[in-house]
Structure 1
Protein backbone atom coordinates (compact mmCIF):
# COMPACT_ATOMS: atom_id res chain seq x y z
CA UNK A 1 0.00 0.00 0.00
CA UNK A 2 1.25 3.43 -0.96
CA UNK A 3 -0.07 6.77 0.25
CA UNK A 4 0.12 10.20 -1.32
CA UNK A 5 -0.30 12.79 1.41
CA UNK A 6 -1.13 16.07 -0.24
CA UNK A 7 -3.24 19.17 -0.63
CA UNK A 8 -5.80 18.71 -3.39
CA UNK A 9 -7.77 21.25 -5.38
CA UNK A 10 -10.70 19.43 -6.95
CA UNK A 11 -12.80 21.41 -9.44
CA UNK A 12 -15.20 18.66 -10.47
CA UNK A 13 -15.48 15.69 -8.11
CA UNK A 14 -16.92 13.26 -10.67
CA UNK A 15 -14.09 14.01 -13.10
CA UNK A 16 -11.49 13.64 -10.35
CA UNK A 17 -12.91 10.27 -9.25
CA UNK A 18 -12.94 9.09 -12.87
CA UNK A 19 -9.28 10.12 -13.27
CA UNK A 20 -8.35 8.16 -10.13
CA UNK A 21 -10.21 5.16 -11.53
CA UNK A 22 -8.32 5.47 -14.81
CA UNK A 23 -4.99 5.56 -12.95
CA UNK A 24 -6.04 2.47 -11.04
CA UNK A 25 -7.08 0.62 -14.19
CA UNK A 26 -3.84 1.51 -16.01
CA UNK A 27 -1.66 0.22 -13.16
CA UNK A 28 -3.73 -2.66 -11.76
CA UNK A 29 -4.32 -0.92 -8.44
CA UNK A 30 -7.14 0.49 -6.39
CA UNK A 31 -7.02 4.23 -5.79
CA UNK A 32 -9.15 5.91 -3.13
CA UNK A 33 -8.89 9.50 -1.89
CA UNK A 34 -9.72 10.49 1.68
CA UNK A 35 -10.16 13.82 3.42
CA UNK A 36 -7.20 13.66 5.83
CA UNK A 37 -9.29 14.96 8.74
CA UNK A 38 -11.06 11.58 8.85
CA UNK A 39 -7.95 9.38 8.80
CA UNK A 40 -6.46 8.53 12.19
CA UNK A 41 -3.16 7.16 10.90
CA UNK A 42 -1.62 4.90 8.26
CA UNK A 43 -2.62 1.78 10.22
CA UNK A 44 -6.27 2.92 10.03
CA UNK A 45 -6.14 2.62 6.23
CA UNK A 46 -4.07 -0.57 6.27
CA UNK A 47 -6.69 -2.23 8.47
CA UNK A 48 -9.51 -1.03 6.22
CA UNK A 49 -7.76 -2.57 3.20
CA UNK A 50 -7.19 -5.86 5.05
CA UNK A 51 -10.83 -6.14 6.12
CA UNK A 52 -12.21 -5.07 2.73
CA UNK A 53 -10.09 -7.68 0.97
CA UNK A 54 -11.17 -10.35 3.44
CA UNK A 55 -14.84 -9.48 2.87
CA UNK A 56 -14.34 -9.61 -0.90
CA UNK A 57 -12.55 -12.99 -0.65
CA UNK A 58 -15.44 -14.38 1.39
CA UNK A 59 -18.09 -12.91 -0.89
CA UNK A 60 -19.37 -10.80 2.01
CA UNK A 61 -18.55 -7.41 0.53
CA UNK A 62 -21.12 -4.64 0.67
CA UNK A 63 -19.94 -2.75 -2.42
CA UNK A 64 -19.14 -4.13 -5.85
CA UNK A 65 -16.12 -1.83 -6.23
CA UNK A 66 -12.99 -2.52 -4.15
CA UNK A 67 -12.28 1.21 -3.66
CA UNK A 68 -15.77 1.74 -2.23
CA UNK A 69 -15.43 -1.36 -0.02
CA UNK A 70 -12.19 0.08 1.39
CA UNK A 71 -13.95 3.41 1.98
CA UNK A 72 -16.78 1.65 3.85
CA UNK A 73 -14.33 -0.10 6.15
CA UNK A 74 -12.25 3.02 6.69
CA UNK A 75 -15.44 4.88 7.64
CA UNK A 76 -16.73 2.01 9.79
CA UNK A 77 -20.10 2.29 8.05
CA UNK A 78 -22.27 0.05 5.92
CA UNK A 79 -24.07 2.92 4.13
CA UNK A 80 -22.11 4.22 1.14
CA UNK A 81 -23.68 7.69 1.32
CA UNK A 82 -22.54 8.09 4.95
CA UNK A 83 -19.05 6.75 4.19
CA UNK A 84 -18.63 9.22 1.32
CA UNK A 85 -18.32 12.01 3.88
CA UNK A 86 -14.83 10.66 4.50
CA UNK A 87 -13.87 11.09 0.85
CA UNK A 88 -12.64 14.28 -0.73
CA UNK A 89 -15.01 16.98 -1.94
CA UNK A 90 -14.83 19.73 -4.50
CA UNK A 91 -12.54 22.54 -3.41
CA UNK A 92 -9.24 22.52 -1.60
CA UNK A 93 -8.64 19.67 0.86
CA UNK A 94 -5.81 18.15 2.88
CA UNK A 95 -5.97 14.60 1.59
CA UNK A 96 -4.54 11.11 1.67
CA UNK A 97 -4.73 9.11 -1.55
CA UNK A 98 -4.43 5.36 -1.01
CA UNK A 99 -2.92 3.23 -3.77
CA UNK A 100 -3.03 -0.52 -3.30
CA UNK A 101 -2.34 -3.36 -5.72
CA UNK A 102 -5.41 -5.44 -6.41
CA UNK A 103 -4.67 -8.81 -4.73
CA UNK A 104 -6.65 -10.74 -7.34
CA UNK A 105 -4.39 -9.36 -10.08
CA UNK A 106 -1.27 -10.02 -8.00
CA UNK A 107 -2.38 -13.61 -7.39
CA UNK A 108 -2.79 -14.09 -11.13
CA UNK A 109 0.73 -12.72 -11.67
CA UNK A 110 -0.59 -9.75 -13.66
CA UNK A 111 2.40 -7.75 -14.86
CA UNK A 112 0.20 -4.62 -14.97
CA UNK A 113 0.14 -4.26 -11.17
CA UNK A 114 2.43 -1.33 -10.42
CA UNK A 115 1.93 0.67 -7.20
CA UNK A 116 5.01 2.91 -7.65
CA UNK A 117 3.93 3.98 -11.15
CA UNK A 118 0.40 4.64 -9.90
CA UNK A 119 1.78 6.69 -7.02
CA UNK A 120 3.78 8.79 -9.47
CA UNK A 121 0.74 9.22 -11.72
CA UNK A 122 -1.40 10.38 -8.80
CA UNK A 123 1.30 12.73 -7.51
CA UNK A 124 1.54 14.28 -11.00
CA UNK A 125 -2.19 15.04 -11.27
CA UNK A 126 -3.11 18.70 -11.75
CA UNK A 127 -5.39 18.45 -8.71
CA UNK A 128 -2.39 17.76 -6.44
CA UNK A 129 -1.26 21.21 -5.38
CA UNK A 130 1.51 20.05 -3.06
CA UNK A 131 2.70 16.86 -1.48
CA UNK A 132 2.83 17.47 2.23
CA UNK A 133 2.38 15.50 5.44
CA UNK A 134 -1.30 15.22 6.31
CA UNK A 135 -1.43 12.23 8.65
CA UNK A 136 0.73 13.74 11.36
CA UNK A 137 -1.93 16.35 12.16
CA UNK A 138 -4.82 14.52 13.84
CA UNK A 139 -8.11 16.45 13.96
CA UNK A 140 -9.38 14.92 17.20
CA UNK A 141 -12.75 16.68 17.26
CA UNK A 142 -13.58 15.61 13.69
CA UNK A 143 -12.48 12.01 14.33
CA UNK A 144 -14.47 11.79 17.57
CA UNK A 145 -17.59 13.24 15.96
CA UNK A 146 -17.41 11.11 12.80
CA UNK A 147 -16.62 7.84 14.59
CA UNK A 148 -18.94 8.66 17.52
CA UNK A 149 -16.21 8.39 20.14
CA UNK A 150 -17.41 10.08 23.31
CA UNK A 151 -15.44 11.84 26.01
CA UNK A 152 -16.66 9.17 28.46
CA UNK A 153 -15.27 6.42 26.21
CA UNK A 154 -11.92 8.17 25.96
CA UNK A 155 -11.81 8.70 29.72
CA UNK A 156 -12.56 5.01 30.36
CA UNK A 157 -9.52 3.74 28.45
CA UNK A 158 -5.86 4.46 27.98
CA UNK A 159 -6.17 3.53 24.28
CA UNK A 160 -5.12 6.21 21.83
CA UNK A 161 -7.62 7.89 19.54
CA UNK A 162 -6.21 6.09 16.46
CA UNK A 163 -6.69 2.78 18.30
CA UNK A 164 -10.32 3.66 19.05
CA UNK A 165 -10.87 4.58 15.40
CA UNK A 166 -9.37 1.28 14.24
CA UNK A 167 -11.75 -0.44 16.66
CA UNK A 168 -14.66 1.17 14.80
CA UNK A 169 -13.24 -0.17 11.53
CA UNK A 170 -13.17 -3.70 12.94
CA UNK A 171 -16.67 -3.33 14.39
CA UNK A 172 -18.08 -3.00 10.86
CA UNK A 173 -17.09 -6.64 10.38
CA UNK A 174 -18.87 -7.64 13.58
CA UNK A 175 -22.04 -5.71 12.74
CA UNK A 176 -22.63 -7.52 9.42
Structure 2
Protein backbone atom coordinates (compact mmCIF):
# COMPACT_ATOMS: atom_id res chain seq x y z
CA UNK A 1 0.00 0.00 0.00
CA UNK A 2 1.20 3.47 -0.85
CA UNK A 3 -0.25 6.74 0.38
CA UNK A 4 -0.04 9.83 -1.78
CA UNK A 5 -0.52 13.12 0.04
CA UNK A 6 -1.28 16.56 -1.30
CA UNK A 7 -3.95 19.08 -2.11
CA UNK A 8 -6.69 17.97 -4.46
CA UNK A 9 -8.53 20.58 -6.48
CA UNK A 10 -11.73 18.92 -7.61
CA UNK A 11 -14.08 20.60 -10.07
CA UNK A 12 -16.32 17.55 -10.51
CA UNK A 13 -16.24 14.79 -7.88
CA UNK A 14 -17.68 12.12 -10.16
CA UNK A 15 -15.10 12.88 -12.85
CA UNK A 16 -12.25 12.88 -10.30
CA UNK A 17 -13.35 9.55 -8.81
CA UNK A 18 -13.77 8.07 -12.29
CA UNK A 19 -10.26 9.21 -13.19
CA UNK A 20 -8.83 7.56 -10.07
CA UNK A 21 -10.76 4.38 -10.87
CA UNK A 22 -9.38 4.37 -14.42
CA UNK A 23 -5.83 4.80 -13.11
CA UNK A 24 -6.43 1.87 -10.80
CA UNK A 25 -7.73 -0.30 -13.63
CA UNK A 26 -4.86 0.71 -15.92
CA UNK A 27 -2.30 -0.37 -13.32
CA UNK A 28 -4.15 -3.30 -11.75
CA UNK A 29 -4.53 -1.66 -8.34
CA UNK A 30 -7.18 -0.17 -6.08
CA UNK A 31 -7.26 3.61 -5.66
CA UNK A 32 -9.32 5.44 -3.04
CA UNK A 33 -9.10 9.14 -2.15
CA UNK A 34 -9.86 10.64 1.25
CA UNK A 35 -10.30 14.14 2.60
CA UNK A 36 -7.23 14.19 4.86
CA UNK A 37 -9.09 16.17 7.54
CA UNK A 38 -10.85 12.89 8.45
CA UNK A 39 -7.74 10.65 8.49
CA UNK A 40 -5.94 10.58 11.84
CA UNK A 41 -2.77 8.79 10.73
CA UNK A 42 -1.25 6.19 8.43
CA UNK A 43 -2.33 3.37 10.76
CA UNK A 44 -5.96 4.44 10.24
CA UNK A 45 -5.76 3.66 6.52
CA UNK A 46 -3.49 0.63 6.87
CA UNK A 47 -6.04 -1.00 9.15
CA UNK A 48 -8.92 -0.12 6.82
CA UNK A 49 -7.07 -1.71 3.88
CA UNK A 50 -6.20 -4.80 5.92
CA UNK A 51 -9.80 -5.32 7.04
CA UNK A 52 -11.21 -4.65 3.56
CA UNK A 53 -8.82 -7.22 2.09
CA UNK A 54 -9.81 -9.74 4.72
CA UNK A 55 -13.52 -9.17 4.03
CA UNK A 56 -12.96 -9.69 0.29
CA UNK A 57 -10.83 -12.79 0.84
CA UNK A 58 -13.56 -14.31 3.00
CA UNK A 59 -16.39 -13.31 0.68
CA UNK A 60 -17.84 -11.11 3.43
CA UNK A 61 -17.46 -7.66 1.88
CA UNK A 62 -20.24 -5.11 2.17
CA UNK A 63 -19.39 -3.45 -1.15
CA UNK A 64 -18.71 -5.07 -4.50
CA UNK A 65 -15.84 -2.67 -5.16
CA UNK A 66 -12.68 -2.98 -3.05
CA UNK A 67 -12.04 0.78 -3.08
CA UNK A 68 -15.50 1.37 -1.62
CA UNK A 69 -14.88 -1.36 0.97
CA UNK A 70 -11.70 0.46 2.04
CA UNK A 71 -13.73 3.66 2.36
CA UNK A 72 -16.36 1.90 4.49
CA UNK A 73 -13.74 0.52 6.86
CA UNK A 74 -11.88 3.83 7.09
CA UNK A 75 -15.18 5.52 7.93
CA UNK A 76 -16.27 2.78 10.32
CA UNK A 77 -19.67 2.70 8.62
CA UNK A 78 -21.74 0.20 6.70
CA UNK A 79 -23.71 2.82 4.76
CA UNK A 80 -21.90 4.00 1.66
CA UNK A 81 -23.71 7.35 1.53
CA UNK A 82 -22.55 8.18 5.09
CA UNK A 83 -18.99 6.99 4.42
CA UNK A 84 -18.73 9.19 1.33
CA UNK A 85 -18.45 12.25 3.58
CA UNK A 86 -14.89 11.09 4.22
CA UNK A 87 -14.04 11.17 0.52
CA UNK A 88 -12.92 14.18 -1.45
CA UNK A 89 -15.48 16.82 -2.37
CA UNK A 90 -15.71 19.75 -4.74
CA UNK A 91 -13.10 22.45 -4.34
CA UNK A 92 -9.61 22.41 -2.93
CA UNK A 93 -8.85 20.22 0.08
CA UNK A 94 -6.05 18.29 1.74
CA UNK A 95 -6.16 14.74 0.45
CA UNK A 96 -4.56 11.39 1.01
CA UNK A 97 -4.97 8.71 -1.64
CA UNK A 98 -4.57 4.98 -1.02
CA UNK A 99 -2.96 3.01 -3.85
CA UNK A 100 -3.16 -0.68 -3.02
CA UNK A 101 -2.28 -3.83 -4.92
CA UNK A 102 -4.14 -6.68 -3.21
CA UNK A 103 -2.93 -9.31 -5.69
CA UNK A 104 0.73 -8.39 -6.04
CA UNK A 105 0.28 -8.42 -9.80
CA UNK A 106 -0.36 -4.72 -10.41
CA UNK A 107 1.95 -1.77 -10.67
CA UNK A 108 1.50 0.12 -7.41
CA UNK A 109 4.48 2.44 -8.01
CA UNK A 110 3.33 3.49 -11.49
CA UNK A 111 -0.20 4.09 -10.22
CA UNK A 112 1.14 6.14 -7.30
CA UNK A 113 3.13 8.29 -9.75
CA UNK A 114 0.02 8.83 -11.87
CA UNK A 115 -2.05 9.77 -8.80
CA UNK A 116 0.69 12.16 -7.63
CA UNK A 117 0.29 14.08 -10.87
CA UNK A 118 -3.32 14.85 -9.89
CA UNK A 119 -2.37 16.46 -6.57
CA UNK A 120 -0.38 19.48 -5.53
CA UNK A 121 2.35 17.88 -3.40
CA UNK A 122 2.25 18.41 0.35
CA UNK A 123 2.13 16.59 3.65
CA UNK A 124 -1.43 16.03 4.83
CA UNK A 125 -1.32 13.00 7.12
CA UNK A 126 -1.45 13.90 10.78
CA UNK A 127 -2.94 17.30 10.00
CA UNK A 128 -6.51 16.20 10.64
CA UNK A 129 -9.25 18.44 12.02
CA UNK A 130 -9.95 17.15 15.55
CA UNK A 131 -13.47 18.62 15.62
CA UNK A 132 -14.35 17.08 12.26
CA UNK A 133 -12.92 13.69 13.28
CA UNK A 134 -14.66 13.70 16.66
CA UNK A 135 -18.01 14.59 15.10
CA UNK A 136 -17.68 12.12 12.22
CA UNK A 137 -16.65 9.21 14.45
CA UNK A 138 -19.00 10.30 17.26
CA UNK A 139 -16.26 10.64 19.88
CA UNK A 140 -17.52 12.70 22.80
CA UNK A 141 -15.43 14.73 25.21
CA UNK A 142 -16.50 12.31 27.96
CA UNK A 143 -15.33 9.29 25.97
CA UNK A 144 -12.00 10.91 25.20
CA UNK A 145 -11.52 11.85 28.87
CA UNK A 146 -12.47 8.36 30.08
CA UNK A 147 -9.76 6.57 28.12
CA UNK A 148 -6.02 6.52 28.41
CA UNK A 149 -5.91 6.26 24.61
CA UNK A 150 -5.72 8.97 22.02
CA UNK A 151 -8.24 10.10 19.43
CA UNK A 152 -6.28 7.96 16.97
CA UNK A 153 -6.83 4.92 19.20
CA UNK A 154 -10.57 5.58 19.37
CA UNK A 155 -10.80 5.95 15.58
CA UNK A 156 -8.89 2.66 15.18
CA UNK A 157 -11.47 1.07 17.46
CA UNK A 158 -14.32 2.40 15.29
CA UNK A 159 -12.64 0.99 12.18
CA UNK A 160 -12.24 -2.43 13.81
CA UNK A 161 -15.81 -2.43 15.14
CA UNK A 162 -17.24 -2.46 11.62
CA UNK A 163 -16.24 -6.12 11.44
CA UNK A 164 -18.06 -6.92 14.68
CA UNK A 165 -21.23 -5.07 13.61
CA UNK A 166 -21.82 -7.45 10.73
Q: TM-score, normalised by structure 1?
A: 0.92
* In structure 1, C-alpha distance between the alignment counterparts of 2:128 and 2:151, rounded to whole Å: 9
* Structure 1 position 171, deviation (Å): 0.4
Distance 2:63 2:134 in 1: 25
Give the distance between the partners of 1:174 and 1:136, measured in 2 at CA.
27
- Is 1:41 paired with 2:53? no
Q: How many residues align?
A: 166
Q: Which residue of 1 aligns with 2:8?
A: 8
**Partner Cα separation in structure 1 for residue 17 and residue 117 of structure 2:** 15
Question: Which ranges of 4 or more aligned residues in structure 1 deviate by more than 4 Å?
Answer: none
1:138 corresponds to which of 128, 138, 147: 128
Check conservation: 1:28, 1:102, Cα contact below 8 A: no
RMSD: 0.8
Aligned to 2:71: 71
| Contact 1:6/1:96 (8 A) holds in 2 | yes
Give the Cα–Cα distance (whole angstroms) in 1 for the partners of residues 126 and 61 of structure 2.
31
Structure 2 segments unaligned to the other structure (5+ residues): none
Gaps of 5+ in 1: none
Question: Is it true that 1:121 corresponds to 2:114 in the alignment?
Answer: yes
Counting only pairs closer than 5 Å after superposition, residues 23-172 of structure 1 correspond to structure 2 as: 23-103=23-103, 106=104, 110=105, 113-125=106-118, 128=119, 130-172=120-162
TM-score normalized with structure 2 length:
0.97
CA distance in 2, matches of 1:136, 1:171: 22
